[in-house]
Homo-oligomer: A and B are copies of this chain.
Amino acid sequence: MPSRLIVSREVADLLKLLAHPDRLRMIEELRLGEKDVTGIADALTLPATRVSQHLAQLRAHRLVDERRAGRSHFYRLSQPQLAGWILDALPFVDVRNRLDEGEHIDSVRALWSAQDPNTSH
């Protein structure tokens, strides 16, 4: 009965995919709707090549959908609730860090979970 083995591998793959600061910021950046590669790169102050490489990974795992319009490729979260689920991880962030940087966490939760008119959950 290898169900648990298989599923734990799949969940681990998902978490590995998410476990990069740039990709997390990109996902939260897409929370409110679609954005093109340079839009994301500018918003996060990252080289567009790197953003494109990260998007390729998210695409390969079907976490984002692509829409091409002219020269731009617009991306959106295929399951927007993902962004909220990630925010729910904040309480589990190492307690030592929370003591030192609790304000950061609180302000980021406020910034990131600021309510969107679009996506329903």
Contact = CB atoms under 8 A, between A and B. Distances in A.
Contacts of A7: 90, 93, 101, 104-105, 108
Contacts of A93: 7, 10-11, 14
B112 A4 contact: yes
A18 B30 CA distance: 24
A19 B16 contact: yes
Contacts of A94: 10, 13-14, 61-62
A111 interface: yes
A95 interface: yes
A86 B13 CA distance: 13
Contact size class for A? 35 or more
Given A10-B97, A14-B93, A82-B92, A5 B21 contact: yes
Interface in A77-121: 78-79, 81-82, 85-86, 88-97, 101, 103-105, 107-108, 111-112
Contacts of A92: 14, 63, 79, 81-82, 85
A21 B12 contact: yes
A3 interface: yes
Determine which residue in A7, A15, A16, A63 has the highest number of CB atoms from chain B within 10 A of its CB, and name it: A7
